[in-house]
């Protein structure tokens, strides 16, 4: 299948890394640690699934971290101050974030602007809006929050698969199916190959662009709700810089930053690798948590170099025959 070979490499790195960690700290190889890893990275996995679509289509979405932050503040205020029922608050915030993403997609297509600039503006807008709502951290005490936090599937070995981890797994699975099995998914790859050619071949490029950014923002909204479950609070400074962690996870997962290739499964593995590094550092106890960033940086470099190598290999036969052209 398309995009699998790089994702396979990510899988190998993950398994090897996990094995190495397990040799040093045998406790890591337990369902408890794995369950926590999934819970801790649930919001990242959700938002990264959306980012995968954006990057494969040849774009980028820098606004997702801010959308998460806005969502947590909005949900907290809506439930605690405005007295909205939690589910209504969720629906409202998801509608808002989807509309926000759709607007960014429309601006990118209609004015033919680089997604980098448009979503950068979106990033400032969403972050600014969340500060406007509230600058302080608002604890959420609604009963649904404790219910959801307490819910978990017991795993053999004492681990817990929490509700938010289940939501993340469901979204990753759904995202993978959407990308690989539907016409929408094929069009995402087509856009990443070449927008002009895709449009010549009959793909409705404008509609697709709007839908892709809408999907990304919608998933960022869901990630924000999950994040608020995770922290039981809404804070305008939450998830600062998450867009970069997300992009890192997508790239480590084997998705080409220039678009056209990649997979949601790879992204999921990329998220797990970042989580594994974090877990290792927690187990070690003496390392600064910033080593996570350093390790992520090194991995990013390695994967980008690897991709360039693969791309060069893939282009070789083409370049040869094209050389005879002129």
Residues in contact with another protein by CB under 8 A are: 2, 181-183, 185-187, 189-190, 192-194, 197-203, 260-261, 314-315, 317-318, 321-326
Residue identified by tokens 């608020």 is: 228
Shortest gap between Cβ of 158 and another protein (angstroms)?
Answer: 38
Q: Which of these, 73, 4, 11, 80, lies nearest to 310 by C-alpha position?
A: 4
125 forms beta bridges with: none
Which of 194/231 has CB closer to another protein? 194
Shortest gap between Cβ of 315 and another protein (angstroms)?
Answer: 7
Shortest gap between Cβ of 322 and another protein (angstroms)?
Answer: 6
Structure tokens at 136: 């302080």
Shortest gap between Cβ of 14 and another protein (angstroms)?
Answer: 25
Which of 3/221 has CB closer to another protein? 3
SS3 of residue 30 by DSSP = coil
Please tell me what DSSP assigns to residue 28: G
Which of 30/194 has CB closer to another protein? 194
d(CA 297, CA 300): 5
Which of 95/177 has CB closer to another protein? 177
Which of 52/261 has CB closer to another protein? 261
Shortest gap between Cβ of 324 and another protein (angstroms)?
Answer: 3
CA angle in degrees (0–180, nearest 5) for 263-267-273: 145
Which of 13/191 has CB closer to another protein? 191
Give one DSSP letter per residue of 208-261, joined into a string. Answer: HHHHHHHHHHHHHHHHHHHHHHHHTEE-TTTTTTHHHHHHHHHHHTT--TTSS-
3-state helix, strand, coil in the chain (%, to 5): 75, 5, 20
d(CA 40, CA 273): 13
SS3 annotation, 160-210? EEEHHHHHHHHHHHHHHHHHHHCHHHHHHHHHHHCHHHHHHCCCCHHHHHH
Shortest gap between Cβ of 73 and another protein (angstroms)?
Answer: 36
Shortest gap between Cβ of 326 and another protein (angstroms)?
Answer: 7
Which of 126/190 has CB closer to another protein? 190
For 162, list phi and psi in degrees, rounded to 5. -75, 170
């Amino acid at each position: 299948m398309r995009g699998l070979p790089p994702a396979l490499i990510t899988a190998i790195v993950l398994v090897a890394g996990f094995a190495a960690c397990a040799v040093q700290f045998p406790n890591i190889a337990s369902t408890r640690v794995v369950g926590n890893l999934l819970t801790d990275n649930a919001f990242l996995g959700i938002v990264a699934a959306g980012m995968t679509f954006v990057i494969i289509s040849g774009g980028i979405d820098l606004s997702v971290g801010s959308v998460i932050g806005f969502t947590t503040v909005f949900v907290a205020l809506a439930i605690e101050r405005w007295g909205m029922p939690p589910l209504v608050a969720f629906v409202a915030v998801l509608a808002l974030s989807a509309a926000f993403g759709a607007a960014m997609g429309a601006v990118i297509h209609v004015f033919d602007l680089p997604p980098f600039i448009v979503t950068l503006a979106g990033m400032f807008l969403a972050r600014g809006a969340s500060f406007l709502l509230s600058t302080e951290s608002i604890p959420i005490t609604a009963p649904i929050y404790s219910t959801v936090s307490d819910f978990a599937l017991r795993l053999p070995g004492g681990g817990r698969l929490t509700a938010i981890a289940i939501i993340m797994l469901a979204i990753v699975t759904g995202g993978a199916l959407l990308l690989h099995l539907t016409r929408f998914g094929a069009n995402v790859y087509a856009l990443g190959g070449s927008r002009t050619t895709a449009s010549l071949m009959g793909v409705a490029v404008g509609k697709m662009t709007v839908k892709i950014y809408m999907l990304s923002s919608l998933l960022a909204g869901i990630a924000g709700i999950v994040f608020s479950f995770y922290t039981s609070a809404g804070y305008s400074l939450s998830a600062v810089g998450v867009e970069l962690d997300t992009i890192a996870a997508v790239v480590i997962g084997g998705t080409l930053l220039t678009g056209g290739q990649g997979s949601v499964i790879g992204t999921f593995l990329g998220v797990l690798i970042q989580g594994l590094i974090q877990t290792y550092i927690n187990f070690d106890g003496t390392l600064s948590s910033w080593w996570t960033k350093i390790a992520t940086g090194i991995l990013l470099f390695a994967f980008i170099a690897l991709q360039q190598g693969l791309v060069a290999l893939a282009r070789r036969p083409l370049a040869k025959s094209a050389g005879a052209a002129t």
